Amino acid sequence: MIKNSPAIRNTKGISREKFEFDIHESYWQLSRDRKVSLAWIDEFLIPSLRNEYISVLKFYAETSSAGHTNNINDRFRAFAKYIHSNRGIS
């Protein structure tokens, strides 16, 4: 479970494929065969960036395909891990 994000008011979302998800869960089931993992967020993002990232990803999960949302998440996770490993964001 992701740490509470008080800045985000509506914690429930419905994907474009009509699957319901909760932004505080560590994964979002966005389609029959696509699950987006958010377990990495607490380790690599500071709270203010975490809240903004979840808001943006929620928007994409609701308006874009599950595959596109998963791709955005994978690419940003790789970037965040890279920055974190180089101590660029703490």
Residue 21 gets which letter from DSSP? E
Each of the 90 residues of the chain gets a pLDDT tens digit; together they read 555 555 556 899 999 999 999 999 999 999 999 999 999 999 999 988 999 999 999 999 999 999 999 999 999 999 999 988 876 554
Return the pLDDT at 89: 52
Return the pLDDT at 85: 85
In the chain, domain spans: 12-85
Token reading at 81: 């891990």
Give the DSSP H/E element, type plus range, for residue 89.
Answer: none
Collapsing DSSP states into helix, strand and coil, what is residue 32?
A: coil
Return the pLDDT at 4: 54
Q: State the angle between helix axes of 66-85 and 47-63 in degrees (0 to 180), rounded to the nearest 10.
A: 160
Phi, psi of 34, rounded to the nearest 5 degrees = -130, 120
Return the pLDDT at 64: 97
